[in-house]
Amino acid sequence: MGQKVNPISNRLGIIKGWDSNWYGGNKYADKIVEDYKIREYLMARLQKASISKIIIERTLKVITVTVNTSRPGIIIGKGGKEVDMLREELKKITKKDVQINIFEIKRPELDAQLVADSIAKQIEGRISFRRAAKMAIASTMRMGAEGIKVLVSGRLGGAEMARSEGYKEGRTPLHTFRADIDYALSEAHTTYGRLGVKVWICKGEVYGKRDLSPNVGQTKQKTASNAPAANNDKKFRGGSAKRRNNK
């Protein structure tokens, strides 16, 4: 059931690659914990750098960390000082040599994580969640996406009872494995509690063999020229806004 599972994990090995690439052996658990610490440190240290994802590769002596960001200048710093500091701090955490690669996301409107984070920040800034979601949908479709779906959940507008509202434009075929679906979850911390923001973005369909190598930071995409046109109907199956009361 494509609508239940994470669209990225559902396509691993088909058109999506893994964010951690290494052989663990007997130290598998230790490396999992180490990867978690690396990602937690970088996300906390680089909150303003608009990070989409962090890819980690390992050899016997070197750990290669690839950071996908829309603002590489913040990570690099003046004369490369910031990235050198990051490298030294990661060496202290891992006790190994660390190589940091930075991949620039040139169209952040088509990255689900950056779109979700943007909506969450606007909600924290007391902007209406409806306005934030609709603005994000408009900008994503304007950049050439085939479809986008946004779901916001929690005490919306400070209501006493939590609920969910979703907005959709175009097509997001979750059951089609060749469909390139990007998915992300973000949280907005408000005075009423935490709101969850989920975003699905369809970038097209992939035909033939796809390069799943993480070295480029982003897999190459081949979109069919005869792909069906996007449907501009802003509706879930239940109407223009789908609401569910939590029981």
Each residue's pLDDT tens digit, 37-48: 999 999 999 989
The dotted CATH code for 107-245 is 3.30.1140.32
* Cβ-based burial of 205 (10 A; exposed 0-12, middle 13-18, buried ≥19): buried
Contact between residue 57 and residue 63 where contact means Cβ atoms under 8 Å apart: yes
**pLDDT tens profile 127-177:** 999 999 999 999 999 999 999 999 999 999 999 999 999 999 999 999 999
The dotted CATH code for 20-104 is 3.30.300.20
Contact between residue 194 and residue 154 where contact means Cβ atoms under 8 Å apart: yes
Positive or negative, the CA dihedral 20, 25, 31, 33 is positive
On the question of a common fold for 20-104 and 107-245, the answer reads: no
pTM of the model: 0.82
Which phi and psi angles does 35 have, rounded to 5°? -60, -40
Enumerate the domain spans of the chain.
Answer: 20-104, 107-245
40 three-state secondary structure: helix
